[in-house]
Structure 1
Amino acid sequence: MKSIANYISISRIFLSLLLALTEPLGIEFIVIYLICGISDALDGYIARKTNTTSTLGEKLDSVADLIMIVVLMILLYPIIKLTIGIVVWIIIIGLIRVLSIMVVYLKYKTVVILHTYGNKVTGLLLFIYPLSLAFSRSDVLMYIICLVASISALEELYIHLVSNELNSNKKWI
Structure 2
Amino acid sequence: MSVADWLSTARLILVALLWPVAVSGHGRVLAVGLIVAGLTDALDGYVARRLQQASLRGARLDAVADMVVMVSAAAWLGLLHPEVVTDDAPLLIAVGLLYAISTGASWLAFGRLVDPRQSSSKVAGGLLYLFALVTLLTGGVAAALLMLAVVALAFACLETIARVSHTIHTRVTASSQRSHAPQAPNGVASSASPTASVPSSTAPRTSEIRP
1:76 Cα deviation after fit? 1.3
Cα deviations across residues 104-147 of structure 1 (Å, max 9, x unaligned)?
44445x34311211111111111111221123422111100011
Relative to the length of structure 2, the TM-score reads 0.69
Rounded Cα–Cα distance in structure 1 between residues aligned with 2:106 and 2:30? 35
Structure 2: how far apart are the matches of 1:111 and 1:138? 32
Q: Is contact 1:17-1:68 (8 Å) kept? A: no
CA RMSD of aligned residues (A): 2.4
Could you state the TM-score of these two structures normalised by the residue count of structure 1? Answer: 0.82
Q: State the shift of 1:94 in Å.
A: 2.9
Point out the structure with max Rg over C-alpha: 2
CA distance in 2, matches of 1:156, 1:111: 12
> What is the identity percentage for the equivalent residue pairs of Structure 1 and Structure 2?
24
2:39 paired residue number: 38
Structure 2 vs 1, CA of residues 160 and 49 (structure 1 numbering), >3 Å: closer, same or farther? farther
**Structure 1 runs (4+) greater than 4 angstroms displaced:** 166-170
1:149 maps onto 2:150 in alignment:
no
3-state SS of paired residue (1:64): helix
Distance 1:144 1:105, change over 3 A: closer
CA 1:57/1:87 → structure 2, altered by over 3 Å: closer, same or farther? farther
Aligned-partner Cα distance in 2 for 1:39–1:58: 14
- Judged with a 3 Å threshold, the aligned counterparts in structure 2 of structure 1 residues 80 and 121 are, in CA distance, closer, same or farther, namely farther
Aligned to 2:77: 76
Question: Is the CA contact (8 Å cut-off) linking 1:118 and 1:148 kept in structure 2?
Answer: yes
Change (3 A) 1:128 1:4: same
Determine whether 1:139 maps to 2:139. Answer: no
How many residue pairs are counted as aligned between the two chains? 167
